Amino acid sequence: MKRRILLAVLIAVVALGSAFASGGKEAVDGPQELTLLTWNLPHYEEQIRGWIADFEDAHPNATIDWVDVKGGEWSTYFQTQLAAGDPPDIIDVQGALWYQYASDGVLLDLTDRFASEPAIKDRFYPDLFEAAANFDGKYYMLPLYTPSTVLFYNKTMFEEAGLPGPPQTLDQLVEYSRKLTDRERGGFITLNFDWLYWPLFASNGVEILNADKSAAAFNTPAAVEVLETLAALTDEGAIPAVTWTGRWAEPNGAFGAGQSAMLNAHVTAFNAFSSNSDWANKDTIGVASFPGNYAVPNYHSLGITSTTKYADLAWDFVKIVTSDKWAQEIVSSLGTLSGNKAADDIALNDAGFRADNPVKVRMFEVERSNMANLTGMTGLAADARIKDAVYTNLTRAIFGEVSARQALNDAEKAVNAILAE
């Protein structure tokens, strides 16, 4: 089914690409309507309407039609629009999904635009910008908001267990997970999607792919050791099963309900678990780097589709959205860094913001300290398929269906087959 959808998308892109290969012939007469597609941002409507108002004030003949789609439905919606030959002009994409679109020619190459306006690229942290915008040496995206992973921990549980603070090594994380476990709670939970669990392997020196990305690199004795440990901790209840069977609501809900003492998640999880918790506050929530200071980005970025009729207008719009003015709103309203250095600095240096949001300030400080140590990224169009091949096999071992060695052998074989296509 996915291959049929992809084929339809490619046919649509080729058909339209002959007309708009360079990003569209700019229309200058009459009304110009662009469509913006966002990823599950209905709660951000006031600010998005502000983006649109600023853009339309600057371009009286242009309008923005805003469409928002839930995360689980976003890809199907976008692929349907592509296949119909009527894709939105500007898209907000989560994580590495856009790699495939860049590879397929669906996204406008913005490399020359960044070169012509270096101040736009310079808005962003260099390591973050490379992670959020670079595919195969070219730039396609602008960072919109940039959550990456941190380690949340329940200070009260740590104090009750006599632990001095968050774990500094993977061995300590394992030790603490067991000490913090009893019949009613586990010690550690991680979000699992989009490689968010990978710090468990990276902190033990395990890479996803080799240096030239031609083969799997994760089938090592160190990976066997990590996987066997995760299986044992899950069997003991030190890692609740929801870690591997849930996605977003379930692991965050378990941590918020006090069913685990540690949570590896990106920073936007804070709003999710704290809003439904009767214990999480500035005095009880700790925030630290994962052992080894590894973090996995789960960035949202803005791209322009290659078939747009209004490439210059779309470029102006994404520049407005990522400007200092609106990037500051991202920090204060969404509870995540924007990726715009100056805007993030303004928010984090504001005395009122720091006083009102001590946990968020700590999250952002940890995030910024780990930007040069990001993991869980393949940089390949097949990223989602590689992730699925790895994760499916890892969970077979975690739940005792096969040995860790067998799971890694099977995952390696599957990944190498994908890379050989």
Cα–Cα nearest to 228, from 292, 291, 174, 153: 174
Q: Do the domains spanning 2-147+298-369 and 149-296+382-419 agree at the CATH topology level?
A: yes
Q: What angle do CA 359, 364, 367 make, to 5 degrees?
A: 125
In which residue are the tokens 């990001």 written?
374
- DSSP calls for 340-351: BHHHHHHHHT-H
Q: At what angle do helices 404-419 and 383-398 cross, to 10 degrees?
A: 170
Q: Which CATH architecture has domain 2-147+298-369?
A: 3-Layer(aba) Sandwich (3.40)
pLDDT in tens, the chain (421 residues): 444 444 444 444 444 443 334 444 454 567 999 999 999 999 999 999 999 999 999 999 999 999 999 998 999 999 999 999 999 999 999 999 999 999 999 999 999 999 999 999 999 999 999 999 999 999 999 999 999 999 999 999 999 999 999 999 999 999 999 999 998 899 999 999 999 999 999 999 999 999 999 999 999 999 999 999 999 999 999 999 999 999 999 999 999 999 999 999 999 999 999 988 999 999 999 999 999 999 999 999 999 999 999 999 999 999 999 999 999 999 988 889 999 999 999 989 999 999 999 999 999 999 999 999 999 999 999 999 999 999 999 999 999 999 999 999 999 999 999 999 9
Amino acid at 284: T
pTM of the predicted structure, to 2 decimals: 0.91
Distances, alpha carbon 381 to alpha carbons 135, 202, 400, in Å: 9, 21, 31
Amino acid at 32: Q
Does the domain spanning 149-296+382-419 belong to CATH 3.40.190.10? yes
Residue 107: the pLDDT is 98
Mapping DSSP onto H, E and C, the string for 50-81 reads HHHHHHHHHCCCEEEEEEEECHHHHHHHHHHH
Residue 75: the pLDDT is 95
170/381 Cα distance (integer angstroms): 31
Residue 30: the pLDDT is 79
314/62 Cα distance (integer angstroms): 10
Domain ranges of the chain: 2-147+298-369, 149-296+382-419
Phi, psi of 73 (to 5 degrees): -110, -5
CB atoms within 10 A of CB 118: 8
Judge contact between 260 and 139, C-beta under 8 A: no
Cα–Cα nearest to 261, from 378, 182, 143: 182
